[in-house]
């Protein structure tokens, strides 16, 4: 069983995919983490991100692995754990450039498809239902109002910390601008842009809780079982 969840940054894909994977005993495949791992490693090794050939060569030679287990949340590049390093604002700002390179996408395709041969999976990203798994059993296109998406990102960043309303709103404004830049880059690129698959079920999560969205997708999964 392959469950594909695509959608823009901050739409809740990762949280929803993790919850569904747990509920059904599937593995979660976070494809964004793979593009982030390439962007981080290129920067870390001093590769010019504008040099498409060099970035593509890197993506084609490194070994990216997820530690199997709950949520496959740990990611390594050539056995170095980069799980924390890939979640910085620096990587947020540069990952879209790397993800737009055709050679980088080609290099990521094989390990993404291989993951589905070993397990039932919930895969999340931008081109899962269109390019990676066009025959996925369940396809969801998850959206949410941009300001709500930015707000979720900020709250996630400050998980467990107190933040006053004024600081929250200011950070939401900044995050919204960065998020809209990334959405435009991911949707506007020539190769595998973020678009909704024709046979995807669109779910707008703005007004729904995580559980409500999961229940709706769980119904779709049960229908296909």
Which residues are at the interface with ligand DC (CB under 6 A)? 9, 31-32, 35-36, 95-96, 99, 125-128, 182, 186
- CB nearer to ligand DC: pick between 25 and 182: 182
Q: Quick one: angle between helices 31-44 and 52-61, nearest 10? A: 120
Q: Residue 59 CB: number of other CB atoms within 10 A?
A: 24
- CB nearer to ligand DC: pick between 31 and 41: 31
Least separation in angstroms between CB 186 and ligand DC: 5
- CB nearer to ligand DC: pick between 171 and 189: 189
Least separation in angstroms between CB 190 and ligand DC: 12
- CB nearer to ligand DC: pick between 127 and 171: 127
Least separation in angstroms between CB 13 and ligand DC: 6
- CB nearer to ligand DC: pick between 26 and 40: 40
Least separation in angstroms between CB 12 and ligand DC: 11
Least separation in angstroms between CB 6 and ligand DC: 7
> What are the residues whose beta carbons fall under 8 Å from the beta carbon of 19, sequence distance 6 or more?
210, 211, 214
- CB nearer to ligand DC: pick between 9 and 77: 9
Q: Are the beta carbons of 120 and 27 closer than 8 angstroms?
A: yes
SS (H, E, C) 142-209: EECCHHHHHHHHHHHHCCCCCCCHHHHHHHHHHHHHHHHHHHHHHHHCCCCCCCCCCCCEEEECCCCC
Distance separating alpha carbons of residues 113 and 163, to the nearest angstrom:
41
Distance separating alpha carbons of residues 213 and 110, to the nearest angstrom:
30
Least separation in angstroms between CB 208 and ligand DC: 20
């Amino acid at each position: 069983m392959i469950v594909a969840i695509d959608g823009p940054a901050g739409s809740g894909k990762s949280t929803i995919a993790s919850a569904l994977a747990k509920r059904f005993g599937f593995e979660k495949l976070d494809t964004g983490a793979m593009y982030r791992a390439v962007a981080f490693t290129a920067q870390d090794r001093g590769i010019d991100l504008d040099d498409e050939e060099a970035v593509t060569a890197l993506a084609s030679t490194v070994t990216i692995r997820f530690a199997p287990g709950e949520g496959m949340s740990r990611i390594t590049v050539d056995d170095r754990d980069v799980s924390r390093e890939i979640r910085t604002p620096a990587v947020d700002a540069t990952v879209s450039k790397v993800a737009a390179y055709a050679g980088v996408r080609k290099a990521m395709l094989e390990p993404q498809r291989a993951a589905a041969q070993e397990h039932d999976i919930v895969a999340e990203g931008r081109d899962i239902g269109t390019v990676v798994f066009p025959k996925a059993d369940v396809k969801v296109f998850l959206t949410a109002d941009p300001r709500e998406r930015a707000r979720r990102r900020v709250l996630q960043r400050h998980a467990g910390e107190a933040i006053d309303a004024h600081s929250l709103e200011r950070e939401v404004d900044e995050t919204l601008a960065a998020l809209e830049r990334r959405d435009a880059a991911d949707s506007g690129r020539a190769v595998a842009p973020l678009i909704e698959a024709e046979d995807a079920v669109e779910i707008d999560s703005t007004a729904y809780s995580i559980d409500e969205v999961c229940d709706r997708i769980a119904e779709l999964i049960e229908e296909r079982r």
